[in-house]
Amino acid sequence: MASREERKRAAREARIETERRDAAAAQRRRRLTQLGGIVLGAAAIVAILIAVSSGGGSKPQTSSAQSASTLLTGIPQKGLTLGNAKAPVTIVEFNDMQCPICRDYQSAVFPELVQRYVRTGKVRMEMRLQSFIGPDSVTAGRAVAGAAKQNLAWTFAEAFYANQGQENSGYVTPDFVKSIATATPGLNHSKLVTDASSPAAAQTLTEGKSAFAARSLTGTPSFLIGRTGGQLSVLNWSALKASQFTGPINSLLAE
């Protein structure tokens, strides 16, 4: 039989163990309460961030598109080619009409190249249409191919980029194409619609895709550059700065 001292010690140990267990349970409850609190707080903050993120930035689609500028006025266009056919240097651009970087190139670099080299007959440009971003790319690409039949592909493309919408949002509707055609001086919309739905327009996209694959290119915009009639090389650009293009052009012109 246990002595009184032993019973007291056992009771004390049992009490300490119970207190320890109670303290641990209270600690767990406290931690979980804290975790629940910060999860709720975080969820509230994320909800606000999502609301802000969803609400801003969408470009409103208007029935009247921003018109093409006068940048290309007076410069010869033939099919998907811009500039003097006898220009000593050729630049081939691989572009997707939905591509936002192509639009940025169009606004940040293209005007300077046109003014300095295309308008002066030193450079001619060709377009190789891509359509890998989504269905809107196909519709837009075929519309450009249709405009090429009226030798206004580059003017149409300029107006398109000026009104470019959110990728794959379904914005390239017949009404949108009509608004771009209307914003392109000299373009016949009815003929554009007919030409854009022709097998020839589809063939233009197929050829653009083949040329893209043949060069193992990985994104748009991509460019080839070289002496007209000669071998063209890939122009490796890292920033949308005119200097990245004028250097290679000047080198070729100096040959």
Partner 1 sequence: MTERRLSRAALLLAAIGIGIAGYLVYVHYTDTKVLCSISHGCETVQKSKYAKLAGVPVALLGLIGYVAILVSLFVRTETGRLASAAMALVGLGFSGWLTYLEAARIHAWCQWCVGSAIVMTLLTIVLVWRLLLAAPVHSDKAPVADVAPG
What does the alpha-carbon distance between residue 59 and residue 62 come to, in Å, rounded to a whole number?
A: 9
Neighbours of 69 (CB within 10 A): 12
> 6 is written with which tokens?
């032993």
Pairing of strands 89-96, 123-130: parallel
Under rule CB under 8 A, residue 33 binds partner 1: no
Query: In this chain, which of 7, 12, 59, 227 binds partner 1, going by CB under 8 A?
Result: 59
How far apart are CB 27 and partner 1 at their closest, in Å? 5
State CA 164 to chain mean position distance: 10
What does the alpha-carbon distance between residue 85 and residue 73 come to, in Å, rounded to a whole number?
A: 16
Q: Is 121 left (phi over 0), alpha (psi -120 to 50) or beta?
A: left
Under rule CB under 8 A, residue 207 binds partner 1: no
How far apart are CB 255 and partner 1 at their closest, in Å? 27
Under rule CB under 8 A, residue 25 binds partner 1: no
Q: Is 76 left (phi over 0), alpha (psi -120 to 50) or beta?
A: beta
Under rule CB under 8 A, residue 35 binds partner 1: yes
Among 68, 65, 62, residue whose Cα is nearest residue 159? 68
How far apart are CB 93 and partner 1 at their closest, in Å? 15
Under rule CB under 8 A, residue 214 binds partner 1: no
Query: In this chain, which of 192, 220, 223, 252 binds partner 1, going by CB under 8 A?
Result: 220
Q: Considering beta carbons, is residue 102 or 152 the nearer one to partner 1?
A: 102
Question: Under 8 Å CB-to-CB from 199, ≥6 apart: which residues?
Answer: none
Under rule CB under 8 A, residue 237 binds partner 1: yes
Under rule CB under 8 A, residue 209 binds partner 1: no
Neighbours of 209 (CB within 10 A): 17
On whether the CB atoms of residues 179 and 163 are closer than 8 A, the answer is: yes
What does the alpha-carbon distance between residue 222 and residue 128 come to, in Å, rounded to a whole number?
A: 10
Q: Considering beta carbons, is residue 10 or 38 the nearer one to partner 1?
A: 38
Which residues from 149-188 bind partner 1, rule CB under 8 A?
166-168
Q: Compose the 78-117 pattern: x for residues touching partner 1 by CB under 8 A, - for all others.
A: ------------------x--xxx--x-------------
Neighbours of 193 (CB within 10 A): 16
Among 168, 198, 165, 199, residue whose Cα is nearest residue 179? 165
Q: Considering beta carbons, is residue 1 or 52 the nearer one to partner 1?
A: 52
Under rule CB under 8 A, residue 133 binds partner 1: yes
How far apart are CB 106 and partner 1 at their closest, in Å? 13
Under rule CB under 8 A, residue 7 binds partner 1: no
Under rule CB under 8 A, residue 49 binds partner 1: yes
* Contact set with partner 1 (CB under 8 A): 23, 27, 31-32, 34-35, 38-39, 41-43, 45-46, 49-50, 52-53, 56-59, 96, 99-101, 104, 132-134, 166-168, 218-220, 237-241
